[in-house]
Chains A and B, each alone.
Chain A
């Protein structure tokens, strides 16, 4: 963790909301994206993101800097919030959301506008569905959030070696399936 970030955390732990505001700016996009790809709903993603930072602010005096990175702590809160969200909603559209986001934002579901990229995307959609939940989560955190296996291990509460194995198997499976579809 950077010294500057440690200072901000210490200030925020003493109740400095401006310092927390800077931490918020630093991490809000990645936390929002992480949640958005799981819930597929703009307003829900905003509500959950707000909840994550509110929990972080309230519980910041209890956060131990030495234990793990601040970002990992935020991801853990976000992950638990999403789990709670689906527990109460009693449905799971995380994978569908993954695709609807792209279709909605980039309008590539229109057959008249199909490009090579869109064709590949449709293939990717089928292939990703064959991965386990853990593998999907590792793919998301590793290749979209650009986190290290050590950080992912902290967030999903597994060993670093397990994360590497999950990643290796997920990428191998994706490649094999994509080749089969060619």
Chain B
């Protein structure tokens, strides 16, 4: 049983109330603030059970480690593509192929021109 005088003190403190102007302003501000989206909830694992969250985390970790390991052991594509010697060689080969194609074109066209001139002269 609480002392009656103590109870009086508690009753005085119970009378404390916020201003109505504050309540109106605060409510108005809150009503125009967006709530946290469901997407955020999914990404934060909030909606998942503990076991599911642990399983997903373990899977993600394995996937990241696996990918890193694969990339680390197979430098082929990326590192080869960044090798300047190979790139220079490929560029030279492209030029060479263009030159052969041009030579073939000129040879063919020269033959046709000679044939045309021959026809005209007759």
A→B interface (CB under 8 Å): 15, 17, 20-21, 24-25, 28-29, 32-33, 36-37, 45-46, 49-50, 53-54, 57-62, 98, 101-102, 105-106, 117, 120-121, 124, 143-144, 171, 174-175, 178
Residues in A whose Cβ lies below 8 Å from that of B22: 46, 49-50
**A29 and B17 contacting across the interface, CB-CB below 8 Å:** yes
Label chain B's interface by main secondary structure.
Answer: helix
Closest to B13 in A: A144
Q: How far is A102 from B6 in the complex, measured between Cα atoms in Å?
A: 13
Query: What would 11 more interface pairs be, CB under 8 Å, given A59-B36, A61-B36?
Result: A25-B23, A29-B18, A33-B14, A46-B19, A46-B26, A49-B26, A53-B30, A57-B30, A102-B12, A105-B15, A144-B14
CB proximity of A24 to chain B, nearest CB, Å:
6
A sample of 24 inter-chain contacts (CB < 8 A) reads A15-B35, A21-B27, A29-B17, A29-B18, A32-B16, A33-B14, A33-B17, A45-B18, A49-B18, A49-B26, A50-B26, A50-B30, A53-B30, A54-B30, A58-B33, A60-B35, A61-B38, A62-B46, A101-B13, A105-B12, A124-B6, A143-B2, A144-B10, A174-B6
Indicate whether B29 reaches chain A with its CB closer than 8 angstroms. Answer: yes
Q: A24-B30, A53-B30, A124-B9 are in contact. Are A58 and B18 (CB under 8 A)?
A: no
Indicate whether B41 reaches chain A with its CB closer than 8 angstroms. Answer: yes
